[in-house]
Chain A
Amino acid sequence: MTTSTLSSIGADRTGSDRRFCTFFLGDLYLGVPVTKVQEVIRAQERTRVPLVSAVVNGLMNLRGEIVTTIDLRRRLELPPLATGIESMNVVIRSDEGVVSILVDEIRDVLEVGNAEFEPVPATLRGTCRELVSGIYKLDDALLLILDTDRLLDIPPPNHTVHAHHEQDAEPNR
């Protein structure tokens, strides 16, 4: 994280720009800017999309519009959600159109102060480091802010297939 992006996130934030829709994903307390969020809805029936990255969880019908759902756990390389718990949809507007991300549990919309902002610690590794644009130090928790653009920049499926099946390469061809 360079200082320039840091300042663009930390500074100049007023009102709604510093408000985040927050949710839990396992132990992670995450947030996306509330301006990006169209709505939050319960789990919907989804249709599986074959031949794409497993991160794409499926398609759902949102009042006649077809919305792609993203499995955030898979995207962050976390283990799947325990069965029996329904995930929630955070529907966000992005350059890629309207997309829904699946999260475990929805929390409040928080307004945070600039003073609490910190860049991502250099020691954070993996996808999390790639996708988190900064951290707000709250009194009782750390709020990780997701970079939705990078979140939706999903690696093509071949990549993941090969990563998982390096031994039995090219299983389908």
Chain B
Amino acid sequence: MDDGELDEVVNEFITESHENLDQLDQELVHLEHNQDPEVVARIFRTIHTIKGTSGFLGFGTLESVTHVGESLLSKLRDGAFPVTTEITSALLAMVDAVREILGSVAGDGSEGSLAYPELVVRLTQLNDGPAAPVEPEPVPVVAASEPAPLRAIAGGAAKKPRKRAPRTLPVVTVSTAKDDSGVLVETESLDDQPVDTVGMLGLQLLEDHKISEDQLAAALRQQDDGDTRRLGEILVEANALSPKDVREGLKTQVEDRPTANETIRVDVSLLDDLMNLVGELVLARNQILQFTQNQGDPSFNATSQRLNLITTELQAGVMKTRMQPIENVWNKFPRVVRDLTIGCGKQARLEMEGKHTELDKTLLEAIKDPLTHLVRNAVDHGLETPQQRLAAGKPAEGVVRLGAYHEGGQVIIEISDDGAGIDAGVLRRKAVQKGLLTAEEAAGRSDRDMLNIIFQPGFSTAEVVSNISGRGVGMDVVKTNIEGIGGSVDVQTVLGRSTTFKVKIPLTLAIIPALVVTVSGDRYAIPQVSLLELVRLDVHHAQSGPNGQGGGGIEWIQGVPVHRLRGRLLPLVFLDEVFGGDQTTSAVADREAYNIVVVQADDHQFGLVVDEISDTAEIVVKPLGRLLKHVDAFAGATIMGDGRVALILDVMGIANHVGITSGERGAGRHAATNAEAADAALDRRRLLLFSLGDRRLGLPLEAVARLEEFRARDVEISNHRPVVQYRGEIMNLVDLGEELRIPRARVDGQPMQVVVYTESDVSVGLVVDEIFDIVEESFEVTQRSSVNGIQGTAVIQGLVTDVIDVRGILDAALPGLLARHTTNRTSEVAAA
């Protein structure tokens, strides 16, 4: 074996061992709570494999450390004594030691200088504990003569992890050599592989409870003694089972086998290269498609359509290769939680939901630390001590819950605890003490706004944390890290009950959806994640007087433009001014309308005024050269369909550049937007006012996603219902006039006014006659209505207005559409 080959074996060993170790952490913690013999067997097998291989590769320290651990595990497996916290801790320490040694091997090829004598003594003592004599070599290499390891094997294999297990399975079974490489490369057909295959068959049969261990052991012994017949034949002859069972066993085995042999390890850098190439291909595809539009040749068109489809599929496929379940990061949390609870005298249970949710490997790496931090915080600061919990009438054991799911092209990760919650009052006091807010500011903020202060750099210091039952050191770092990958983090709390952190991150970074806008003749891409909505203001409407009554126009405060968007002041940024384009002419004068892209950076909402809004596009993010690294207004660049370069705006960078994020300018106010629905419901509600015929109606604004216009010719019929194509999806249209039996004032040729209602990703378009205004005022529904679909009637702006019940109308008009969808999602989460 030459050096290169050896390196390969060592690398393989390291990679595989690391995977196994991560699983070990989890299993050991699991074992502590549940004395599960199957888990012991699995752990034993993993350690045994590492021990065996390290012996074979000549890693002495590794072998000696794992050897004592293995002895201890074999005792546990035989039920000599139960698993205690002490034993778990020692075994976890052993796992850490193995990890350390492997790290050293991966680094410089040596095992490092540490010999871990203390650990070895500790494990040996535990081993000797209950007077049982030390079993010298419980190595089931020659498994044929020992039934016990077989039980372990079969037990392990019977459970789910069969997909992973086959690799390690044969190592401890019938192969008498320590080298398991024969199995790893095993690809030949069944018939050419008498020994191993039969061994696998034995396991298969054992697993299916067709034969007993003793029968199998006897048959294997017979083979060892020189019987050249196949295992199946021996067993049939011994009347252990029928030929039919053998056939079935073999069949299952063949079906199972591909899972073992069809997975290959691929270098991540190779995947990165592929991803880049696909990025190039996407660009080339975009260019060709653009070219196609100017071409009349039908066969060329067909070809490029095909290219389009293939590219899209290829892109999806390559992206998929980089996807990994979030489980890979979560796996280490049981250990983290265990160590922490022991450290701080708390009791906690970790629950996970949706651990198979997948996301890009790079992102997974990036969220590892922030998530660990959040989990630690949940235990450390979120949960109370058992005494406090009991006093508060809660079970002594706290629950930390991790949840992950996909939503709207993003991955949502929730970390929640059922602890004491965060007291906004304490936060207020602390913020004032720290000089972050004045007393008035603090008092003026809603509880919800106050919560976000935990993400501020100055706030989260150790001192504060120890004083409040709140969140800890470095929440600002968590936020920065998550935002660094285009994500966001948000916190919700119920005092005395729970705290939930909601982390949203994009699925992938390399190709993102973006809005393409034009400013002074240059195109820019705005990542969709920072986008809230688009607003268009007519120029004569917009310039309603310098001190304007602000009928939805642009107003100026000491030269700073703002717009009242649904009753809130939205700071505006004229991008052409910021970018100082070539066209020095006052764009304001030439404009017919203002196109405002409302974006969110941090807690700040602001409007970017652009010349033109072109389209949304999937763009490939390319880094800017090092020369431009310092420009924080741009996140990168991309190549558009015509081959030209467009810059990608970094909304946060622009906010910093124009000073929106400095100071408290509107921070709290805008942060409130999310919570608005809830807050507003208490006293003031915002209503969208519209007309149907001569009736004046209102609908709660929180139900409104967007306002759109459609032309009659856009409407198509699907399933006997009118639909339109909207943002790449099919959207049902519901004529409110019809539903509410109010005759509409139809004007032919005029575009339809449509209110888009969105609930859990399903959008429905409500067709109305005219949209008047959005009001925010306190009103009382004076008259409950008996008419279906009307919540009640109120007097708004001095006029009688019917407030409609959107959900009720939609349930009647499109029975099951929304409800069904909602249930679907719930069951999906539950299933995950």
Contact = CB atoms under 8 A, between A and B. Distances in A.
B645 interface: yes
B560 to A, nearest CB: 12
A66 B578 contact: no
Contacts of A47: 522-523, 637, 644-647
A49 B634 contact: yes
B630 interface: yes
A156 B579 CA distance: 16
Nearest to B577: A172
Most buried by B among A50, A59, A64, A154: A50
A165 to B, nearest CB: 12
A49 B283 CA distance: 21
Contacts of B283: 64
B626 A96 contact: yes
Interface string A22-53: 00000000000000000000000111111110
A152 B627 contact: yes
Contacts of A66: 622-625, 637, 639, 645
Contact of B628 (A49, A64, A98, A172): A49
Interface string A87-104: 000000001111100000
B625 A50 contact: no
Nearest to B522: A48
A61 B631 contact: no
B657 interface: yes
B392 to A, nearest CB: 53
Contacts of B626: 95-97
Contacts of A49: 628, 631, 634, 647
Given A64-B280, A64-B639, A52 B628 contact: yes
A141 to B, nearest CB: 31
B633 interface: yes
Interface in B610-633: 622-628, 630-631, 633
A76 interface: no
Nearest to B276: A64
Secondary structure dominating the interface of B: mixed
Contacts of A45: 643-644
Contacts of A143: none
Contacts of B628: 49, 52, 56, 68
A46 B637 CA distance: 12
A41 to B, nearest CB: 14
B580 interface: yes
B641 to A, nearest CB: 12
Given A59-B645, A66-B637, A154 B627 contact: yes
Given A50-B578, A50-B579, A51-B633, A61 B643 contact: yes
Given A47-B637, A59-B647, A61-B643, 20 more contacts: A45-B643, A45-B644, A47-B647, A50-B581, A51-B578, A51-B631, A58-B645, A61-B645, A64-B284, A66-B625, A66-B639, A66-B645, A68-B625, A68-B627, A68-B628, A96-B626, A96-B627, A97-B626, A99-B627, A154-B627
12 contacts: A45-B643, A46-B645, A47-B637, A47-B646, A51-B633, A52-B631, A59-B637, A59-B645, A59-B647, A66-B624, A66-B625, A66-B637
